[in-house]
Chains A and B, each alone.
Chain A
Amino acid sequence: MSTTQEHLPAVPEGDEPIPNPGLPAHQWRPTDVDTRAEKRAERQVAALFGVATLALVGFFVSYFVFQVGDNWDTIAGFGASNVMLGGTLAIAFICIGVGLIHWARKLMTDHEIVELRHPASSSEKDRTETVGMVMQGIDDSGIARRPLVRNSLLGALGLVGLAPILMLRDLGPLPGDKLYHTIWKPGMRVVRDVVYTPIKVSDLEIGDLVNCEPEALANGGPDGEPLEGVELQIAKSKGAVILLRMEPDDITPWKGRENWSVQGIVAFSKICTHVGCPISLNERTTHHLLCPCHQSTFDLADNGKVIFGPAARPLPQLPIEVDDEGYLVAQSDFTEPVGPSFWERG
């Protein structure tokens, strides 16, 4: 097939095993030839539209009769409004739709008709003419003859493209070193989340796990105001930790971490190093902690090492000790960034 014919539809080859028999004869439907069938179909369609009307009336009534809200004392109780409004609306719409389709299938003329296709492409003549006119237009503008005008315009347009990108600069501040620090400070108490009560060693039995927060969330800590709003959320999203008490002999600390635990109690960041979900599933007998989002599993007896799943980095450990009153406090901030990896982290 030559290139000039490419736009033509595929033509059946000469050696077709069976010639096209042509459109089959039209078949009359019962509703075409039997008046009773026709009337029956007509009644069915009208009945469907009638039901739709009734259902819509039901919808209006339901709107006023059934109450919304968390209230079981209203008619038919909580959720009745939703079911009735949706149910009547569904009946109305389905009846209208089925009625229309039934009408089309049974009562509208059902003769198939044939339309000829046309190639999607323009005619060769139109192509030539249009290309000619475009060339004429370009020629008239003189853009080819005036490179100075063209190039200066291109330069200007290039900078125009940069302007909106520059405008996006104030979407947010630069990261700086924010990801490297959390609100934890030396001496800050580890408190239970929600209730913010400090914790003593004796509060925990072997195998206990407690979800904790830095005390600063509640009262600003030793120095500062109580946090609220965005600051609170950010501090929470990085500062959440998990306390777990195990047999002190089970812990196999890395070099330099020997004194990061207190009588078998360890504190680890709650934020998964994979993509940042708070980790919360503890297997009591093994000291394994499982992230419910993507199932990364960390061994808290072995420095938060990844033992399964897609996470690549161990959970950061928070060094803890006991203060004068016997409560658990942080020795320092985390010694590495918490949460998911990022480019600059190294």
Chain B
Amino acid sequence: MSIDTSKVADTNATTPAKASKPNPVGAAAGWADDRLGLATAMKKQVRKVFPDHWSFMLGEIALWSFIVLLLTGVFLTLWFTPSMGETTYEGSYNQLRGIQMSEAYASTLNISFDVRGGLLMRQMHHWAAMLFVAAMMVHLLRVFFTGAHRKPRELNWVIGCLLLILGTLEGFTGYSLPDDLLSGTGIRAADGFIKATPVVGTYMSFFLFGGEFPGEAIIPRLFTVHVLLIPGILLALVGAHMLLLVYHKHTQWPGPGRTEQNVVGYPLLPIYAAKAGGFFFVVFGVIALMGALLSINPVWKFGPYDPSKVTAGSQPDWYMGWPDGALRIMPGIETHIWGTTWSWNVLLPIQVLPMVMFTLLLFLPFIESWITGDKRDHHILQRPRNAPTRTATMVALMTAYGLFWAAGGNDIIAIKLHLSINHITYFMRLMVFLGPVIAFWITRRWCISLQRHDNDMLLHGYESGIIMRSADGGYSERHLPLSESRAYTLTARGRDEVFTPGTGVDENGVAARGGRLDKVRGKLSALMYADNVQKPTRAELEEARHHAEHEHALQAGLDHPASGHEFDDHALRTAEDVPLRGAHGETAGAGSGSTSGGAGGQHDDTDEQPGH
């Protein structure tokens, strides 16, 4: 097919095609540049290259939800009254009219029922918050599974983790503000958590609430934290996260032409500006749709907070669900010693466990690089299967998270599935320990099997789905070689080296410093790498290719030669479309079937369409 492309713009060059004529925009830009030096600052960024992949969009969802949160949040502050002062509701929601409630709750009802678009903004704000935290979590998983947390990006990982925990706290302070029955119950539980703190718990509780719970200080204080303190830190950290992203340049998947030294993709202006900018509108639009159609946190149904009331099925927002689950399944253990109380039943699940999990998350890149001893920069991403132990570690953490989270809904599970809540709780107590171990083991073996499968494809070709019958009646599947670019992409990964600790003594026979630590590191490194399947060497590939050619030569004389392309459109395509490796023109008609009579182990490697 001949194509006339002479009239098509075919450049993404860094210099404009022609100098622009003087115009008002140019004049304004010149005015600004005279004062700000923008041209120099923007020179490198305007056409900055970003690689393309759907998974790079997950962080963008978080970023754009955060923008939606800022916009809708500002709208809400215009009407919300952060006060626990008592008032009588006189607004338009019939069922609560004349009822005593806090001004915070009354103003939330006012936003919902008496401000046009107020309910929409409230629901969008809440949905965006859920999306924000969810997108951050999925983005974190993508980064970790693909090895994008490795040097030089460890600090950006740390910033990301801080964003996640701050986002979670921001969510808690936010949904506590309306002062409805559900959020008040949450605050009361938080008071219980604080009181469980050794030594200073009671004091912290009294300082936070300005006296005894509930007091009248907590809502205004949470408001300040929610609209000023945390958003300010979040904004600064998001900025730092973005700056580092630009400075490091984005990671990319391996592929033809992509190396550790380059970044291949589309320029910021116009492609990424349009795509990312367009995506902001899509995220905004989807959140607006959710706000329009999906009811969320209908505080008017819960009623004002009353410290003597609670509703069944009380649960925090989903991202606070996993510590709540830990709290539910924790056995009621308390130690009383020397007139003091150690509330392990509250301390362990709600204070210690989240801190441990978060610290572990924060240090994951550093633990990994210590074990591997890898000090190189990494810009090419890894497929999750090519780091089996790392992938399994995160899946184990995800499993623990998921089980704790499910335990946070044990009452709902019991009701919906007609199960005994006691049995669910006992089961969860066991599974939060057993589940991650099982998940780790399965994931790790699964990854290694997938690695083995990759090697099979490299050495023997992919499964064509064409079943061949041999002269003596045996059946086998025809394997066809991978394209050059696919084969290259599969091999574009490093080889793992297990760290071998020294003898533990230096040349003078004195125990070397860090010898014991080295042994631990060696063991961990073996766990991490020893079972992995390494990519084939050049010699192995040559050998496999040679073997396949030999097989073809043997089968060339069979009565009914079949190429394996009898039922597809292979013959219609041009030769350039079919990047077959090796064997071109060397074997005339390809043979059929396998000599091993249908045993799956034998594969044809290369073949060629008769008539080329």
A254: B residues at CB distance < 8 A: none
- Quote the shortest CB–CB distance from A42 to chain B (angstroms): 14
Q: Are A86 and B293 in contact (CB under 8 A)?
A: yes
- Measured CA separation A229–B388 after assembly (Å): 59
B210: A residues at CB distance < 8 A: 171-172
Could you say which of A3, A96, A119, A178 has the most chain B C-beta atoms within 10 Å of its C-beta?
A96
Check B165 for interface membership: any CB of A closer than 8 A: no
Chain A 117-138 interface 0/1 with B at a Cβ cutoff of 8 Å (1 = within): 1011100000000000000000
Q: Are B308 and A277 in contact (CB under 8 A)?
A: no
Check B115 for interface membership: any CB of A closer than 8 A: yes
B537: A residues at CB distance < 8 A: 15, 17
A229: B residues at CB distance < 8 A: 86, 216
Check B197 for interface membership: any CB of A closer than 8 A: yes
Q: Are B280 and A109 in contact (CB under 8 A)?
A: no
A117: B residues at CB distance < 8 A: 249, 260-263, 379
Selecting from B310-318, B443-451, B501-509, the interface stretch reads: B310-318
Chain A 53-95 interface 0/1 with B at a Cβ cutoff of 8 Å (1 = within): 0000000000100001111000000000111111101111111
Interface size for B (C-beta < 8 A) is: 141
Selecting from B23-31, B136-144, B183-191, the interface stretch reads: B183-191
Q: Are B307 and A108 in contact (CB under 8 A)?
A: no
Q: Are A213 and B308 in contact (CB under 8 A)?
A: yes
- Measured CA separation A114–B47 after assembly (Å): 11
Selecting from A144-152, A255-263, A293-301, the interface stretch reads: A293-301
A8: B residues at CB distance < 8 A: 376-377
Check A158 for interface membership: any CB of B closer than 8 A: no
Chain B 317-336 interface 0/1 with A at a Cβ cutoff of 8 Å (1 = within): 00000001001111111101
* Nearest-CB residue, chain B, relative to A25: B576
Given A172-B207, A293-B314, A309-B332, A343-B279 contact (CB < 8 Å): no
- Measured CA separation A104–B50 after assembly (Å): 14
- Quote the shortest CB–CB distance from A196 to chain B (angstroms): 12
Check B77 for interface membership: any CB of A closer than 8 A: no
Check B425 for interface membership: any CB of A closer than 8 A: yes
* Nearest-CB residue, chain A, relative to B535: A17
Check A339 for interface membership: any CB of B closer than 8 A: yes
Interface hits, B88-122 → A, CB 8 Å: 92-95, 113-120
Could you say which of B209, B217, B310, B314 has the most chain A C-beta atoms within 10 Å of its C-beta?
B310
Selecting from B354-362, B462-470, B485-493, B517-525, the interface stretch reads: B485-493
Q: Are B334 and A341 in contact (CB under 8 A)?
A: yes
Q: Are A112 and B265 in contact (CB under 8 A)?
A: yes
Chain B 275-312 interface 0/1 with A at a Cβ cutoff of 8 Å (1 = within): 10111111111101101110000000000001111111
A22: B residues at CB distance < 8 A: 256-257
- Quote the shortest CB–CB distance from B552 to chain A (angstroms): 21
Partner of A21, one of B86, B115, B485: B485
B476: A residues at CB distance < 8 A: none
A343: B residues at CB distance < 8 A: 195, 197-202, 340-341
- Measured CA separation A90–B120 after assembly (Å): 11
A90: B residues at CB distance < 8 A: 285-286, 288-289, 292
Chain A 232-256 interface 0/1 with B at a Cβ cutoff of 8 Å (1 = within): 0110111010000000000000000
Q: Are A344 and B340 in contact (CB under 8 A)?
A: yes
Q: Are A119 and B375 in contact (CB under 8 A)?
A: no
Q: Are A339 and B11 in contact (CB under 8 A)?
A: no
Q: Are A211 and B261 in contact (CB under 8 A)?
A: no
- Quote the shortest CB–CB distance from A64 to chain B (angstroms): 9
Partner of B262, one of A7, A115, A174: A115
Chain A 1-43 interface 0/1 with B at a Cβ cutoff of 8 Å (1 = within): 1010011111111011111111110101000110000000000
Selecting from A200-208, A268-276, A326-334, the interface stretch reads: A268-276
B377: A residues at CB distance < 8 A: 7-10, 119-120
* Nearest-CB residue, chain B, relative to A79: B119
Given A28-B5, A89-B288, A229-B86, A311-B536 contact (CB < 8 Å): no
A168: B residues at CB distance < 8 A: 207
Q: Are B291 and A86 in contact (CB under 8 A)?
A: yes
* Nearest-CB residue, chain B, relative to A344: B202
Partner of B309, one of A19, A71, A174, A278: A278
B10: A residues at CB distance < 8 A: 26, 109, 111
Check A280 for interface membership: any CB of B closer than 8 A: yes
Given A240-B307, A274-B346, A9-B379 contact (CB < 8 Å): yes
Q: Are A292 and B327 in contact (CB under 8 A)?
A: no
- Measured CA separation A97–B273 after assembly (Å): 11
Check A175 for interface membership: any CB of B closer than 8 A: yes
Check A47 for interface membership: any CB of B closer than 8 A: no
Q: Are A87 and B345 in contact (CB under 8 A)?
A: no
Partner of A346, one of B192, B271, B339, B494: B339
- Measured CA separation A89–B527 after assembly (Å): 53
Chain B 194-228 interface 0/1 with A at a Cβ cutoff of 8 Å (1 = within): 01111111110111111111111100000000000
Q: Are B292 and A234 in contact (CB under 8 A)?
A: no
Check A281 for interface membership: any CB of B closer than 8 A: yes
Check A313 for interface membership: any CB of B closer than 8 A: yes
Check B8 for interface membership: any CB of A closer than 8 A: yes
Check B247 for interface membership: any CB of A closer than 8 A: yes
Q: Are A21 and B188 in contact (CB under 8 A)?
A: no
Check A113 for interface membership: any CB of B closer than 8 A: yes
* Nearest-CB residue, chain B, relative to A14: B538
A87: B residues at CB distance < 8 A: 288-289, 292-293
Partner of B86, one of A228, A277, A294: A228
Q: Are A341 and B274 in contact (CB under 8 A)?
A: no
- Measured CA separation A172–B306 after assembly (Å): 22
Q: Are B207 and A71 in contact (CB under 8 A)?
A: no
Partner of B256, one of A23, A85, A344: A23
Q: Are B332 and A240 in contact (CB under 8 A)?
A: no
- Measured CA separation A98–B286 after assembly (Å): 12
A289: B residues at CB distance < 8 A: none
Given A174-B206, A311-B332, A70-B93 contact (CB < 8 Å): yes
Check A179 for interface membership: any CB of B closer than 8 A: yes
Q: Are A85 and B8 in contact (CB under 8 A)?
A: no
Partner of A98, one of B188, B191, B282, B492: B282
Check A143 for interface membership: any CB of B closer than 8 A: no
A115: B residues at CB distance < 8 A: 48-49, 249, 262-263
Check B343 for interface membership: any CB of A closer than 8 A: yes
Check A310 for interface membership: any CB of B closer than 8 A: yes
A312: B residues at CB distance < 8 A: 332-334, 343, 345
- Measured CA separation A85–B116 after assembly (Å): 9
B256: A residues at CB distance < 8 A: 20-24
- Measured CA separation A13–B191 after assembly (Å): 58
Check A154 for interface membership: any CB of B closer than 8 A: no
Enumerate 10 A-B pairs (CB-CB under 8 Å) in ascending A order: A9-B378, A10-B376, A15-B537, A18-B487, A69-B113, A94-B285, A114-B264, A274-B332, A278-B310, A279-B310
Interface positions of B (Cβ within 8 A of A): 3-5, 8-12, 47-49, 84, 86, 92-95, 113-120, 123-124, 152, 185, 188-189, 191-193, 195-203, 205-217, 247-249, 256-257, 259-267, 270-271, 274-275, 277-286, 288-289, 291-293, 306-314, 324, 327-334, 336, 339-341, 343, 345-346, 349, 375-380, 410-411, 421-422, 425, 458, 484-485, 487-488, 491-492, 494-495, 535-538, 540-541
What are the 9 A-B residue pairs with the smallest beta carbon separation, nearest first? A86-B292, A275-B192, A100-B278, A97-B281, A23-B257, A93-B285, A237-B307, A94-B285, A97-B282
